[in-house]
Amino acid sequence: MNQEKVLKVLLGPIVSEKTTMASANNQYVFKVRTDSNKREIRAAIESMFGVKVEAVTTSNVKGKKKVFKGKVGQRINWKKAVVKVSEGQMIDATAS
């Protein structure tokens, strides 16, 4: 896999109350490119943060329909990945 592509897979961490609670179970949530797959996400996390990834779960999130000044529009669709790391390891997602 191309190292340049691996570094472009992760777009950023998702920080909310729900994801903060998930970090207690060694799970971290990231916004990723829509064309990325689980292998690329695993390789990106392991190379960037130096942790051992146990599992990767992905989901496609559909953009909301919005009305602005009487015109209907839609926000973009995006993909999120929930990454479970090995016991005893952690990711400082706020620093990335």
> What is the tens place of the pLDDT at every residue in 33-58?
999 999 999 999 999 999 999 999 99
Flag whether 14 is in a domain. Answer: yes
Flag whether 78 is in a domain. Answer: yes
Number of domains in the chain: 1
Flag whether 76 is in a domain. Answer: yes
Flag whether 44 is in a domain. Answer: yes
What single string gives the DSSP state of each residue in the chain?
Answer: --HHHHHHHEEEE--SHHHHHHGGGTEEEEEE-TT--HHHHHHHHHHHH---EEEEEEEEEPPPEEEETTEEEEPPPEEEEEEEEPTT----GGG-
Flag whether 45 is in a domain. Answer: yes
Percent of the chain with pLDDT over 70: 95
CB 84 within 8 A of CB 54: yes
Flag whether 54 is in a domain. Answer: yes
Find the CATH number of the domain harbouring 84: 3.30.70.330
* pTM for this entry: 0.85
Flag whether 95 is in a domain. Answer: no
Q: Which amino acid is at 40?
A: E
